[in-house]
Amino acid sequence: MQPPPNPPSNLIDGRAIAAQLHAETAQRVAALRSRGVQPGLVFVRVGEDPASRVYVGMKERMSAKLGLNSTTRVLPESTSETELLALIAQLNSDPAVHGILVQAPLPKHMRQEVVYASVLPQKDVDGFHPLNVGKLLLGDRTGFRSCTPAGVQELLIRSQVCTEGAEVVILGRGEIVGKPMAAILCQKDRHANSTVTICHSRTRDIAAHCRRADILIAAMGVPEFVRGNMVKPGAVVIDVGVNRVADPAAPEGSRLVGDVAFAEVQPVAGKITPNPGGVGPMTIAVLMQNTVRAAEMAVS
């Protein structure tokens, strides 16, 4: 039997880098517990969206592994916005709860911006509260940063990717990834100082923008949008997308793909994240870090 081929040398291993962060987080958890403090994290899920159940389950398991005290509050789809806000107010006032994560998506009858703004900024470990978003734009590191873009920056740092003066193109202007990612990398700060372009559905000739990028971050939510001929040779490509596409050959009749056509882009890229195994593990790793930091701040 032939041995399995070696993985491509230009892969950015998100699982391995996330494991480094988890090891650091575990040390901080141990330090807190030696002082009689156990970081508390509550997940709030409304309804039974299948993807939400999977994502919250992954976060629960990692919380338990690291020694956090995590619980999940599941509310029916019919829950009113007022009832959800009442639960969040209760969690805000509980000193044993250091972090609150309201899992997206929310039912259509709930105003997402109102719900996220109701979480105390010091417990907003997802980084969605307007105060934390404002602090991010101002370069104020006392706030919490959105987990996925903060995780992408950590991937770049630990993969020795230089962002200083780099041309960064971000595909997607969403509130969760695109906008905060741009805010992080354009800061006058170490591991930032990039020239950032945000492309979106109204951008003219997106391919031309992509080919100019030293670092290309795809977060559009369009399956395999980035093709090989859209990438400058040697560029760093970060695939944030998670898309389900039909595949009759797959056991469930569908499979998950990113925003990057990996097989085409990997031979061209200097470094590239796989999908899965790239950005996803980093999102959870930063969430755990944010929660521990919230506990540290609460007892400082």
* Domains contained in the chain, CATH given: 37-122 (3.40.50.10860), 147-279 (3.40.50.720)
The whole-number pLDDT of residue 4 equals 44
The whole-number pLDDT of residue 300 equals 86
* 229 burial level (CB within 10 Å; 0-12, 13-18, 19+): exposed
Distance CA 175, CA 180 (A): 7
DSSP secondary structure, 31-58, as one string: HHHTTT---EEEEEEES--HHHHHHHHH
Work out the pLDDT band at 224, boundaries 50, 70, 90: very high
pLDDT at 7 over 80: no
Range in 46-60, 88-102, 158-172, 278-292 the model is least confident about: 46-60
The whole-number pLDDT of residue 9 equals 85
Q: Can you read off the two tokens belonging to residue 2?
A: 């032939």
Q: What is the mean pLDDT of residues 135-139?
A: 96
The whole-number pLDDT of residue 284 equals 97
The whole-number pLDDT of residue 3 equals 43
The whole-number pLDDT of residue 251 equals 86
The whole-number pLDDT of residue 1 equals 43
Q: Can you read off the two tokens belonging to residue 174?
A: 């969403």
**What is the tens place of the pLDDT at every residue in 68-103?**
999 999 999 999 999 999 999 999 999 999 999 999
Q: What is the mean pLDDT of residues 6-24?
A: 90
Distance CA 297, CA 287 (A): 15
Q: Can you read off the two tokens belonging to residue 293?
A: 């930091």
* 299 burial level (CB within 10 Å; 0-12, 13-18, 19+): exposed
In sequence order, the β-bridge partners of residue 217 are 170, 238
> Closest Cα partner for 110 from 146, 79, 73, 75?
79
**What is the tens place of the pLDDT at every residue in 232-266?**
999 999 999 988 888 888 888 888 899 999 999 99
Proportion of the chain above pLDDT 70, given as a percent: 97
Q: Work out the mean pLDDT of the chain and round it to a whole number.
A: 95
Show which residues are catalytic.
59, 103, 126
Angle of helix 178-185 relative to helix 130-138, nearest 10 degrees? 30
